[in-house]
Chain A
Amino acid sequence: MSGVRVLVGTRKGGFVLAADGKRNQWEISGPYFSGWEIYHVKGSPADPSRIYASQCSGWSGQVIQRSDDGGVNWKPVGNQFSYNGTPGTHQWYDGTPHPWEFERVWHLEPALDDPDTVYAGVEDAGLFKSTDGGDSWRELPGLRGHGSGSSWQPGAGGMCLHTILLDPIRPERMFTAISAAGTFRSDDYGESWRPVNRGLQSEGIPDSDAEVGHCVHRIAQHPDRPDVLFMQKHWDVMRSDDAGESWHEISGNLPTDFGFPIDVHANEPDTVYVVPITSDSEHFPPDGRLRVYRSRTGGDEWEPLTTGLPQQHCYVNVLRDAMAVDKLDDCGIYFGTTGGQVYASANAGDSWEPIVRDLPAVLSVEVQTLP
């Protein structure tokens, strides 16, 4: 029988939650790398035994871990992330130039067709690539160097490259998203980049529809229809039907359009999930009620999903990389909270069960669908 493996990164270690295809009984292992912040753990689509993890701490910096046996055993691989050439400067919070300095890896995106190739999105925002299983990394400097990099400014969480989308139909095409710069697209395997933010409106920047400067929190796509992108911005839920060339708002009847994660049903490209959060200063669900919202119409019309989720006194957040979907016929949806709960739905969000309730604050959730 098929199964799933949920890879959870937390403030104090990584966890692996495994179940068969029914997804009602879970085996929990971890913490791996206990005491360290695990920003992201993700498996290779080309080989589910290959998993990469970003491990870091304020004391000891960045470590990258690799597993070749599905997360049972791990070994540290390369952790040198050197910006290409003279890194130059970006804007600091006060508008002064600030040297580019590597802080941590936020996101690891294994290639679709090669387990040894993996991309890393880092803070201060940059994109790195390894073709030797993480042993060595080189920057793809066309992103920082395309022209607007010196004007990028950090969001409250730091200036991070947090989303990497690989186009399964056009392998030369990639998308990245950076807080607080926006969305960028490459059509030549990551060598050159341009901003794709037309249609975004952000009140927190001097020019509300500027080409760059938008605090994009997360973008998502369905692999069968990669030209359609969904975005959770700082405020506003957005959609593009032309690979980012233009965006329009689809917040519709959401109770608030602030939030962090966004994801797409594995089998229904127009079914989208968000978790509305009260505001930029109140990082908890409106009215203390944890509700996932689902649109079956590609946006604008949203329904709250509440069965099994706390509907009073709930003041957790769901961070941008902390939602994932499996690929089983009845699509499973998973998300983790800053309160340490990981919730699963085996019926596309109709009802939810906590897999675990008391982990450290959850930073990331990914899922592998196993044969």
Chain B
Amino acid sequence: MIRVVLPAHLRRLAQIDGEVRLEVAAPVSQRAVLDALESRYPMLRGTIRDQETLRRRAFIRFFACEEDLSHEPPDDLLPEPVAAGREPYLVVGAMAGG
């Protein structure tokens, strides 16, 4: 079970309370987690990644295990504690003003 934490404005958009828990088959990559997230919550399509290129939006960051994964290749495996559900995968709104 993968744990995903979304920023407040996206939780409101998708009407989510607290963490999201997703079943994601191995290998667990960022792309696989985001695909599963958007599949369950279609209203999040386009808000985290561009819908056509699937590139991360400029002011969104991906953190896990105190590491910034934003610039890692999307098909790289996530850290084992995330894949095992002990640590969450964090989708964060970058600090970008008002």
Residues of A within 8 A of B (CB): 33-36, 57-63, 76, 79-80, 82
Q: Using CB atoms, name the residue of chain B closest to A62.
A: B46
Interface of A is mostly: loop
Partner of A60, one of B9, B51, B52: B9
Given contacts A35-B9, A36-B9, A80-B51, contact A61 B57 (CB under 8 A): yes
C-alpha gap A357/B12 in the complex (Å):
27
- How many residues of chain B get a CB closer than 8 Å to chain A's CBs? 21
Q: Is B96 on the interface with A (CB-CB < 8 A)?
A: yes
Q: Is the CB of B45 within 8 A of A59?
A: no
- Listed by A's residue number, 23 A-B pairs whose Cβ atoms lie within 8 Å are A34-B12, A35-B8, A36-B9, A57-B9, A58-B59, A59-B7, A59-B9, A59-B94, A59-B96, A60-B48, A60-B60, A60-B93, A61-B50, A62-B46, A63-B43, A63-B46, A76-B43, A79-B51, A80-B45, A80-B46, A80-B51, A80-B52, A82-B52
Shortest distance between the CB of B60 and any CB in chain A (Å): 6
Shortest distance between the CB of B19 and any CB in chain A (Å): 19
Shortest distance between the CB of A55 and any CB in chain B (Å): 8
Q: Is the CB of A61 within 8 A of B46?
A: yes
How many residue pairs, one in A and one in B, have C-beta atoms under 8 Å apart? 45
Shortest distance between the CB of A197 and any CB in chain B (Å): 33
Shortest distance between the CB of B7 and any CB in chain A (Å): 8
Given contacts A35-B9, A76-B13, A82-B52, contact A59 B43 (CB under 8 A): no
| Cβ proximity bits B16-32 to A, threshold 8 Å, 1 near / 0 not | 00000000000000000
Q: Is B10 on the interface with A (CB-CB < 8 A)?
A: yes
Of B46, B57, B93, most buried by chain A (CB within 10 Å of CB) is B46
Give the 8 A-B CB pairs with smallest separation, nearest first. Answer: A60-B47, A76-B43, A59-B59, A59-B93, A79-B46, A80-B51, A35-B9, A61-B46
Complex contacts, A33 vs chain B, CB 8 Å: 12
Known: A59-B9, A60-B10, A60-B60; 19 extra A-B contacts, CB below 8 A, are A36-B9, A57-B9, A58-B58, A59-B7, A59-B59, A59-B93, A59-B94, A59-B96, A60-B9, A61-B47, A62-B46, A63-B13, A63-B43, A76-B43, A79-B45, A79-B46, A79-B51, A80-B51, A82-B52
Residues of B within 8 A of A (CB): 7-10, 12-13, 43, 45-48, 50-52, 57-60, 93-94, 96
C-alpha gap A59/B94 in the complex (Å):
7
Complex contacts, B10 vs chain A, CB 8 Å: 60
Q: Is the CB of B96 within 8 A of A58?
A: yes
C-alpha gap A18/B29 in the complex (Å):
49
Complex contacts, B59 vs chain A, CB 8 Å: 58-59
C-alpha gap A34/B52 in the complex (Å):
27
Q: Using CB atoms, name the residue of chain B closest to A83.
A: B52
Q: Using CB atoms, name the residue of chain A closest to B94.
A: A59
